[in-house]
């Protein structure tokens, strides 16, 4: 697997990152845990064996289990071989500290380092933008953590474009470490809400590591419309176990995009999931490293196969136009 340069971070990463949001995730309605400890380690093993080195987690994923399990897995490996990204905003320590105050940021980073059993994070994302804490206070704390060697790069996940711009400006005028990488939701289906955000990323040469690049699994093509608007979901899929799935993911124009992706998949001999990821990788104006959340090693292998799928400009444009 050929590595790519992650924007201005200087990091060399696999072109597709492994997301660990499902590690330890328990659905309140059903009690189902999506990925348990053994399955998590199997996925990490498979990812590493296939050449992957970029692992994405967060302080609160699985109530902290995601970071703990990654830390256990890293214990038998050379930490320097992997790029680990985590996040803070929601507290893993106290329900009264859900913000980006200096106190909470430092506490959550220290907690992440302890659970991961590592001395540093390659990337710390601000999971959300805190409207009640001046961003320069947050960035000053992160800047201190970078000076201490506990964080190497700072990024921003979900936010409005103007807030991303404000953060970049505040870092510049205060001489703090600025955002070099971002993590918005972005896929062949989910575009308009992040179009201005991505314009900022392109202008400022920020790397983009989108989450939900397969739109919650919808772009794998495993869902079908039946009867009067009903949706057939495979047993155990997110559409089967998540009561919010249809409201969040199954918009009418999403089916139009999926239809075009299926057509391109037929032409290229690839799967719809691979074409959907290849569409992201095909962007020439942005450095995009999608984060996948596979549930099995087979799914992981299929998704990583997207790096070998070559789309023509015409195929890219057809998928692009299907959203209009």
Helix boundaries (H) for 92-250: 102-116, 135-147, 161-174, 195-204, 238-241, 245-249
> Which residues have a catalytic role annotated?
61
Q: For tokens 């600025």, name the residue.
A: 178
Q: Which of 175, 174, 80 is nearest to 120 (CA)?
A: 80
Q: How far is CA 263 from CA 190, 224, 225, in A?
A: 19, 15, 17
Instruction: Report the C-alpha gap between 295 and 324 in whole angstroms.
Output: 32
Q: Which of 131, 140, 120 is nearest to 162 (CA)?
A: 131
CA-closest candidate to residue 207, choices 324, 90, 291: 291
In whole angstroms, give the CA distance from residue 293 to residue 277.
12
Buried (b) or exposed (e) across 167-193, using 16+ Cβ within 10 A?
A: bbebbeeeebbbbbbbbbbbbbbbeee
How many residues appear in the chain? 324
How far apart CA 57 and CA 67 sit, in angstroms, is: 7
- Tell me how far apart the alpha carbons of residues 234 and 255 are, in angstroms, rounded to a whole number: 17
Residue with tokens 């040469």: 205
């Amino acid at each position: 697997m050929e590595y790519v340069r992650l924007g201005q971070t200087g990091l060399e990463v696999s072109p597709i990152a492994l997301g660990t949001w499902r590690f330890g995730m328990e659905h309140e309605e059903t009690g189902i845990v999506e990925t348990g400890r053994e399955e998590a380690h199997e996925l990490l093993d498979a990812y590493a064996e296939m050449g992957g080195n970029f692992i994405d987690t967060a302080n609160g994923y699985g109530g902290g289990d995601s970071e703990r399990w990654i830390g256990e897995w890293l214990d038998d490996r050379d930490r320097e071989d992997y790029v680990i990204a985590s996040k803070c905003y929601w507290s893993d320590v106290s329900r009264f500290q859900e913000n980006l105050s200096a106190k909470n940021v430092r506490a959550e980073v220290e907690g992440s380092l302890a659970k991961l059993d590592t001395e540093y994070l390659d990337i710390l994302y601000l999971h959300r933008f805190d409207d009640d804490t001046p961003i320069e206070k947050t960035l000053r704390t992160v800047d201190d953590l970078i000076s201490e060697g506990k964080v190497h790069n700072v990024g921003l996940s979900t936010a409005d474009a103007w807030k991303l711009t404000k953060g970049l400006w505040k870092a510049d005028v205060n001489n703090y470490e600025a955002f070099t990488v971002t993590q918005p939701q972005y896929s062949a289906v989910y575009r308009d809400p992040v179009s201005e955000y991505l314009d900022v990323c392109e202008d400022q040469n920020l790397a983009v590591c989108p989450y939900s690049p397969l739109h919650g699994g919808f772009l794998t093509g495993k869902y079908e419309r039946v009867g009067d608007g009903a949706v057939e979901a495979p047993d155990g899929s997110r559409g089967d176990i998540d009561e919010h799935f249809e409201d969040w993911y199954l918009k009418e124009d999403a089916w139009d995009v999926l239809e075009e992706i299926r057509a391109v998949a037929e032409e290229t001999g690839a799967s719809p999931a691979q074409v959907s990821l290849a569409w992201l990788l095909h962007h020439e104006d942005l450095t995009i490293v999608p984060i996948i959340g596979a549930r099995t090693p087979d799914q992981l292998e299929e998704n990583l196969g997207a790096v070998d799928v070559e789309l023509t400009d015409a195929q890219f444009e057809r998928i692009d136009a299907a959203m209009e």
